[in-house]
Structure 1
Amino acid sequence: MRFLVIGGSGLIGAHITALLRSRGHHVTTVARTPKPGVDHLLDLRSASVDTLRPLLEGLDGVVYATRSEEQHPLPKPIYPQFRHDMVDPVVRLFTAARAESLTRGLILGSYYTYFDRRHPEWRLRDRHVYVRCRLEQAAESRAAAGPSLPIAVIELPFVLGRAGARVPNWAGPPARWAASRAPLLAPPGGTAVVSAHTVAETAVDALEKSSGAHIPIADQNLTWSELLTDIARAVGRPRKVHRLPAALIRASLPAGGLFQSLTRKETGVTPAHFADLVLANLFIEPTTGRSVEAAFAESFAAEI
């Protein structure tokens, strides 16, 4: 089959591209900036349906693998900007894909939408613009695609691994912290983690089966203490991680919301409610049970 990968130069996009090709599929890639292996330069945020249709002509499927930045402060109100960046371009992409008779699609999403389904009492879509836009991205893209073009949504936790020089966008700060002499502190709670290789396998399987499912995915569930311990080991400075009281987290994070309010800025994940997420067990069940030791080493060896 023939596929287009939007964001093919990124960590996960590169893994998906490589695995599709290894299974005999033909792949072309799109990215915003020129890099080795990028076939077309295009900023999807400004691309019209008419611009996208020639790229999709004659293809079987399309992958949206472009990441979104939920923590970057923007002037209030941020919802219009988030929608412009996260929702509208993907809806146009799948509108074009439907017009070109594609038969399968895939969106790399966020595990927050998984927790929105599992824990409606957390009110994630109401409290966090990022989660709201992720939900709208999936629902409106599927509506635009119609029943003949099923779209799978991979609900990603923290991703580990490497693709060339590309490592996870979140890896730098914790790696430098773990390599420093500063004490390592972690609150209660934790997160699911997954390797980029596992994501690619799951994505390619979904494309080959023309799945239209929500697919939460994790290799392991780790407490924050376990996560920091593994990072410290990966950067070559293994040591004990001390417990940070939950009360301190609940007291300190709202201060970030106050600062944003004073500067008339917001982020996609609201600081006033972020403590609830940090202190929760953001675990996905079931996990694959695969070891992530090698993926940790790949992620953090270049960050020290």
Structure 2
Amino acid sequence: MVVALMRIVVVGGSGLIGAHVVDVLRERGHAATAVARTAHPGVDQVLDLGSASVDELRALLAGHDGVVYAARTDEQRPLRKPIYPVFRRSMVEPVVRLFTAARQEGLTRGVVMGSYYTYFDRLHPQWRLAARHTYIRCRVEQAREGRAAAGADLPVAVIELPFVFGRAGDRLPNWSGPLDRWARSRLPLVVPTGGTAAVSARGVAEVAVDALEQRSGGDIPVADENLTWRDMVARIAEAVGRRRRVARLPTGVAGAALRLGGVLQALGRKESGVNPAHAADLLLAELFVEPATGRSLDPALRQTFTGPAQG
């Protein structure tokens, strides 16, 4: 199939995933405009999507065929209650403005980098994930309201991301630093039961560009491998050169620690996007995505963790 060349805006184009999307687009002959909040090597336009108006976004998108939203959200950082308005302002409202502008400018395709929690919310409605966790609620609203703003002529694919490994320049996954330091330390490696799907940043970018080329409007969960926590931590330890045994933390201990974290947050009048009072239901589950591609994560693991300790 012959694919027409596209002109694509990548919001968050200097980040881990966005930078790979820009690379894959250009490798396939498409034009990519990388947009970020701050000037950075490789950034073509500086714009804060959190405060940009629809008119400003229309000016940014003019002359393009599609747009990718790849901005990052920190769901774990505790904030003062109530956090829902804060999360809506940072996650939902910018996407609504972006796709309103995209529709008005006549763009024909879009991609949002979402979360695999929305996949599990569909798969297991009895878990009540959107009701229990503000971050997941806002991811669901982000996809629904972004698509509504885009309209029927602008299909928007949502890439439902699990743990993403890899590197883009100096950009690494936001959770990699603590795991890197833990794997290099003398502290015991102890993990609970359960596990997660995982994918490389390069793999995500290829799926995103495929979706743009095909004008997909689907929900697209992605995984290269499904890893238990024990497997993942053991492979991280090996990647940093400290191969050693990973022990199993009793389920009851892990659950109690998370519930205690929820109590302490409540006492401090704080919340986080993933509610620790219900986090055990996620942490101790096997959050696996099927089918996985089967591509080895080893190259992306080495990119993430090999080298000097992360500060």
TM-score range relative to shorter protein: over 0.9
Q: Distance between the aligned counterparts of 1:298 and 1:267, measured in 2?
A: 29
Query: Size of the alignment, in residue pairs?
Result: 304
Q: Does 1:215 align with 2:249?
A: no
Identity %: 65
Post-superposition Cα deviations, 1:257-283, rounded to whole Å, max 9, x if no partner, equal 111111111000000000111100000
Residue 118 of structure 1 corresponds to 123
Q: Normalising by structure 1, what TM-score?
A: 0.99
Residue 3 of structure 2 corresponds to none
Runs (5+) with no aligned partner, structure 1: none
Residue 249 of structure 2 corresponds to 244
Residue 208 of structure 2 corresponds to 203
Aligned to 1:46, the other structure's residue is in SS state coil
Amino acid at match of 1:77: P
Post-superposition Cα deviations, 1:57-80, rounded to whole Å, max 9, x if no partner, equal 111000000011101111111101
Residue 263 of structure 1 corresponds to 268
Q: Distance between the aligned counterparts of 1:111 and 1:52, measured in 2?
A: 27
Residue 47 of structure 1 corresponds to 52
Amino acid at match of 2:87: F
Q: Distance between the aligned counterparts of 1:108 and 1:180, measured in 2?
A: 33
Amino acid at match of 1:50: D
Residue 135 of structure 1 corresponds to 140
Q: 2:191 aligns with which of 177, 183, 186?
A: 186
Runs (5+) with no aligned partner, structure 2: 1-5
Shift of 1:168: 1.2
Q: Distance between the aligned counterparts of 1:108 and 1:279, measured in 2?
A: 25
Residue 77 of structure 1 corresponds to 82
Post-superposition Cα deviations, 1:113-143, rounded to whole Å, max 9, x if no partner, equal 0000111111000000000000000000100
Matches within 5 A, 1:96-115: 96-115=101-120
Q: Does 1:59 align with 2:64?
A: yes
Q: 1:68 aligns with which of 51, 58, 73?
A: 73
- Native 8 Å contact 1:171 1:303 kept in 2: no
Q: Distance between the aligned counterparts of 1:37 and 1:138, measured in 2?
A: 28
Aligned to 1:225, the other structure's residue is in SS state helix
Q: Distance between the aligned counterparts of 2:173 and 2:74, measured in 1?
A: 13
- Structure 1 ranges of 4+ moved more than 3 A: none
Shift of 1:303: 5.5
Q: CA RMSD in A?
A: 0.7
